Amino acid sequence: MQKTLVLIKPSAIQRSLVGEVVSRFEKKGLQIIGFKMMTLSDDLLKTHYAHLVEKPFFKRIKDSMQVTPVFAMALKGVDAVEVVRKMSGTTNGRNAAPGTIRGDLSMSVQENIVHTSDSPENAAIELDRFFNKDEIFEYEPLIFPHLYANDEF
């Protein structure tokens, strides 16, 4: 099973879409193994968006991520990284496919509701960045036999 990180961004919080976003992942069958609200510091955002720090628009991304606290969520499931990434849709909400979170709920590149890890390697790094070890919970959901065949996990 894989673990991955979702950040529910200020754009979702301001628009009262936190429950909608969480509900989509729950209904899909992803297991919530960590969930907390936090304020993102300048340093944390510079690390998290290191690939964009040199871009002229970095300051507006940073400011946008600090309008409110965010919800950090750790999800677990078979192929969870790819499943969650596909569910979030492409970066620009205007281009994202209908049915995806961004495609259904966003009209913007920046105000695009969620961050989701883009590879298993980055998911591991990002989970460590946002969660302490004791904030990630291991438990066996009773529903597993109804989510997966025996040989799928």
Residue closer to ligand TYD, measured from CB, 38 or 143 = 38
CA distances from 57 to 60, 75, 94, 110 (A): 5, 29, 18, 10
CB of 140 to ligand TYD, least distance (A): 31
Task: State the CB neighbour count (10 A cutoff) for residue 143.
Answer: 10
Q: Does 62 bind ligand TYD (CB under 6 A)?
A: no
Identity of the amino acid at 132: N
Selected from 15, 19, 46, 57, the binder of ligand TYD by CB under 6 A is 57
Pairing of the two strands 2-8 and 114-116:
antiparallel
Backbone phi and psi for residue 135, each to the nearest 5 degrees, phi listed first: -100, 0
Q: Give the three-state DSSP class for 37.
A: strand
Q: Does 110 bind ligand TYD (CB under 6 A)?
A: yes
Tell me which stretch binds ligand TYD (CB under 6 A): 28-36, 106-114, 130-138, 142-150: 106-114
Q: Does 61 bind ligand TYD (CB under 6 A)?
A: yes
**For this structure, is 115 an active site residue?**
yes
CB of 93 to ligand TYD, least distance (A): 9
**Residues touching ligand TYD: how many (CB under 6 A)?**
10
Q: Does 109 bind ligand TYD (CB under 6 A)?
A: yes
Sequence-distant (6+) residues with CB within 8 A of 136 are: 3, 33, 34, 74, 127
Q: Give the three-state DSSP class for 8.
A: strand
The residues annotated as belonging to the active site are: 115
- Residues at the interface with ligand TYD (CB under 6 A): 49, 52, 57, 61, 91, 109-110, 112, 115, 118
